Chains A and B, each alone.
Chain A
Amino acid sequence: MDSSAIFRKKYGSFRRFFLMLGKARLPYLWIAAYLAASVVIANVGVSSTEYSAALFAGNVGLTAVVLPYLFYQLLSLVLGSVSGLLANLCEARMDRNLRRMVWCKTVRLPLRFYETNNPKELLSRITTDISSISGLVMRVFLAVLTTAYSSFVILRKISSYDGALMWSLVAILPVNILISFIMGRLKFGVQDLINRRNAQLTAAIAERTNNLMLIKSMGAEEKEAAVGEGHMRASYRAAGMNIWITGLSLPISAIATALQTVVIILVGRGFYASGALELTQWIAYYGFAVQLTNILSAYCGYWTTFKQVQGSVDRVTEIMDERSEDLDTGEVMGSPAGGIRFEKVDFSFGGTPLFQGLDLDIPAGRITAVVGPSGSGKTTLLNLIDRLYPLAGGTIRVGGRDAADYSLASFRRALGYVTQESVMYAGTIRSNLLHGLGRTPSEEELDEACAAVGILDYVRRQPLGYDAPVGESGASLSGGQRQRFSVARALLKRPDCLLLDEATAAMDIDGKAGVWASIRTAMAGRTVVYVAHDAQTIANADYVVVLRDGRVEAAGEREHILSTNLYCREMMENGEEEN
Chain B
Amino acid sequence: MKRSGQTEGRAREKFSFRSYISFYTRFPIPWWLFLISLLLGLVNTEVVLAASKYVIQINKGELYNGVIIGYALMTVLTSAISMGINICDEYGTQKVTYRARKLLWRKILHLPMGEVERRQPSSLISGVVNDITQASQVIHTIFATVSSVYGFARCCVEMAKFNARLSAYMLLLVPLAVGVFALVGRLQYRMMLRRYESLNTMTEFFSEHISAVKHVKAQAMEELEMEEGLRAIDERYKADLYYAFMEVLQIFSNTLYTTIGSVAIAIFGSDMIRKGQMPDTGINDFTTYKGKVDQYQAEILTHYQSLKGTQGAMQYVGVLLGGPEEDPEAGFELPENQGNADIVLERVSFGYIPQQPVLHDLSLTIPAGKVTAIIGSNGSGKSTLLKLLQGIYQPDSGRIRLGAAAADEVKPARLRRQFGYILQHNPLFSGSIRDNITYGVSGTVEDEAVFQAARLADADGFIRELPQGYDTDVGVGGSLLSGGQRQRVAIARTLLTDPRYLLMDEAGASLDHKSDMTIFRTVREHMKGRTVVVVAHDMRSVMDADYIIVLACGSLEAAGTHDELLRTSPTYRNYLELQGCALAGEEAVR
Contacts and interface: CB of A to CB of B under 8 A. Distances in A.
A563 interface: no
Given A272-B61, A413-B219, A535 B579 contact: yes
Interface stretch (A78-86, A145-153, A391-399): A78-86
A415 B221 CA distance: 12
A425 B513 contact: no
Given A81-B251, A574-B517, A266 B210 contact: no
A434 to B, nearest CB: 11
A229 B210 contact: no
Contacts of A373: 512, 514
B251 A84 contact: yes
B224 A198 contact: no
Nearest to A81: B252
Interface string A198-223: 10011101111111111111111101
Contacts of A178: none
Interface in A283-329: 283, 286, 327
A207 B206 contact: no
Given A243-B87, A577-B516, A229 B63 contact: no
A576 interface: yes
B193 interface: no
Contacts of B267: 66, 70
A19 interface: no
A265 B217 contact: no
A570 B512 CA distance: 11
Most chain B CB neighbours (cut-off 10 Å) among A85, A233, A266, A512: A85
A258 B224 contact: no
A483 B233 CA distance: 30
A77 B253 CA distance: 10
Interface string B72-115: 10011011101100110011001101100110011011110100
Contacts of B541: 574-575
Interface string B370-395: 00000011110000000100101000
A239 B90 CA distance: 9
Nearest to A120: B207
B214 A419 contact: yes
Interface in B401-428: 412-413, 416-417, 419, 421, 426-427
A216 B416 contact: yes
Nearest to A411: B220
B377 A103 contact: no
Interface string B262-278: 11001101100110000
Contact of A70 (B266, B509, B513): B266
B202 A127 contact: yes
A539 interface: yes
Nearest to B430: A207
B439 interface: yes
Interface residues of B, number: 147
Interface in A525-579: 533-536, 539, 570-579
Interface residues of A, number: 152
B214 A212 contact: no
A476 interface: yes
Nearest to B132: A232
Interface stretch (B148-156, B282-290, B296-304, B356-364): B282-290
A232 B273 contact: no
A570 B516 CA distance: 12
A62 B270 contact: yes
A473 interface: yes
Given A58-B279, A107-B226, A575-B539, A211 B517 contact: no
Interface string A360-374: 000000000000011
Nearest to B328: A221
Nearest to B7: A471
Contacts of A374: 482-484, 512
A408 interface: yes
Given A412-B220, A477-B2, A250 B212 contact: no
A10 interface: no
Contacts of B306: none
A273 B376 CA distance: 99
A69 interface: yes
A85 B244 contact: yes
Contacts of A243: 86-87, 90-91, 94
Contact of A508 (B86, B124, B125, B537): B537
A472 B129 contact: no
Interface in A47-94: 55-58, 60, 62, 65-66, 69-70, 73-74, 76-77, 80-81, 84-85, 88-89, 91-93
Nearest to B116: A212
A56 B281 CA distance: 5
Most chain A CB neighbours (cut-off 10 Å) among B82, B248, B281, B497: B248
Given A244-B87, A251-B83, A373-B514, A509 B129 contact: no
Nearest to A409: B220
A447 interface: no
Interface string A472-496: 1100111111000000000000000
Given A84-B248, A107-B225, A207 B476 contact: yes
B365 interface: no
Contacts of A411: 220
Nearest to B390: A217
Interface in A320-355: 327
A460 interface: no
A246 interface: yes
Contacts of A205: 105, 125, 128-129
Nearest to A57: B281
A359 interface: no
Contact of A123 (B1, B90, B121, B210): B210
A218 B423 CA distance: 13
Contact of B579 (A62, A89, A576): A576
A247 B208 CA distance: 44
A473 to B, nearest CB: 5
B330 interface: no
B218 A386 contact: yes
A186 interface: no
Contacts of B427: 210-211, 214
B513 A577 contact: yes
A436 B440 contact: no
A444 interface: no
A120 B121 CA distance: 18
A167 interface: no
Given A111-B217, A272-B61, A509 B109 contact: no
A463 B368 CA distance: 45
B508 interface: yes
A95 B241 CA distance: 11
Given A77-B252, A80-B255, A425-B208, A58 B273 contact: yes
16 contacts: A55-B284, A56-B287, A70-B263, A77-B252, A88-B244, A92-B241, A104-B230, A127-B202, A203-B476, A207-B429, A251-B83, A261-B75, A283-B284, A374-B484, A419-B214, A478-B378
Given A88-B248, A107-B229, A536-B580, 20 more contacts: A55-B284, A58-B282, A91-B240, A92-B244, A100-B230, A104-B230, A119-B207, A127-B202, A212-B113, A217-B392, A220-B440, A247-B90, A258-B75, A261-B72, A286-B58, A409-B220, A412-B217, A417-B219, A570-B514, A575-B539
Interface of B: 1-2, 4-5, 58-61, 63, 68, 71-72, 75-76, 78-80, 82-83, 86-87, 90-91, 94-95, 97-98, 101-102, 105-106, 108-111, 113, 116, 121, 124-125, 128-129, 199, 202-222, 224-226, 229-230, 233-234, 236-237, 240-241, 243-245, 247-248, 251-252, 255-256, 259, 262-263, 266-267, 269-270, 273-274, 279-284, 287, 328, 376-379, 387, 390, 392, 412-413, 416-417, 419, 421, 426-427, 429-430, 439-440, 442, 476-477, 482-484, 497, 506, 508-514, 516-517, 537-541, 574-575, 578-580
Q: Shortest 10 CB-CB distances between A and B: which pairs?
A: A58-B280, A254-B79, A575-B540, A88-B244, A577-B513, A478-B2, A92-B240, A56-B284, A60-B270, A417-B218
